[in-house]
Amino acid sequence: MSGASLAATTATPAQTEELGARLAARLVPGDLIALRGPLGAGKTVFVRGLAAGRGVDPALVRSPTFVLHHVYGSPPRLHHLDLYRLGPAADIALLDLDSLLDTAPAAVEWGDHGDLSPWNPLRLSIEIVPAGRRVEALSPDLAPERLVRAFREALDP
């Protein structure tokens, strides 16, 4: 990837949600967003924004740490998964991602706990920095070009 890094620093949770919402407006079924970052980084906050951008009430969004999977909307508008409980070598085959992605885009917290590469994710890292949170696309050259473009447009609306 040449040029500037694909990243933004958000000063508040609302700004992180807005970034998620702008990305989500450009997502379609089949699209996978893998989120990494420490506990409290803002992965769930970002997914709240994704939900809002997909026309789902963001108040419905809760970290699915104990259930692995939430689906928002009926028919599904967004799938929300969290691999934390599966540990660092999560068996992704458990999740039936193919079926989920047929119906809606999906966001996966702790996406680095499993090998999501067969589903071509856009990988986003959320880091805690003094100014707030830095949200950055990791290895964008490995992600689908359409998703990279969607994120770039979300960064610079």
Ligand X SMILES: Nc1ncnc2c1ncn2[C@@H]1O[C@H](COP(=O)(O)OP(=O)(O)O)[C@@H](O)[C@H]1O
Binding site for Mg ion (CB under 5 A): 43-44, 63, 109
Residue 62 φ/ψ, nearest 5 degrees: -130, 150
Q: Binding partner of residue 73 among ligand X, Mg ion, none, CB under 5 to 8 Å per kind?
A: none
54 touches ligand X by CB under 6 A: no
CA-CA distance, 69 to 62, in Å (whole number)?
10
Q: Which is nearer to Mg ion, 22 or 43 (CB)?
A: 43
Q: Binding partner of residue 54 among ligand X, Mg ion, none, CB under 5 to 8 Å per kind?
A: none
Find out whether the peptide bond into 157 is cis, omega within 30 degrees of 0.
Answer: no
Q: Binding partner of residue 88 among Mg ion, ligand X, none, CB under 5 to 8 Å per kind?
A: none
Q: Which is nearer to ligand X, 38 or 118 (CB)?
A: 38
Nearest approach, Cβ of 2 to Mg ion (angstroms)?
33
121 and 101 in contact (C-beta within 8 Å)? Answer: no
Restricted to residues 55-114, the positions that interact with ligand X (CB under 6 A) are 63, 109
Q: Binding partner of residue 125 among Mg ion, ligand X, none, CB under 5 to 8 Å per kind?
A: none
12 touches ligand X by CB under 6 A: yes
Distances (CA, A) of 73 to 32, 54, 70, 146: 17, 9, 10, 24
CA-CA distance, 92 to 35, in Å (whole number)?
15
Residue 129 φ/ψ, nearest 5 degrees: -130, 165
Applying CB under 6 A, which residues contact ligand X? 10-13, 15-16, 37, 39-45, 63, 109, 132-133
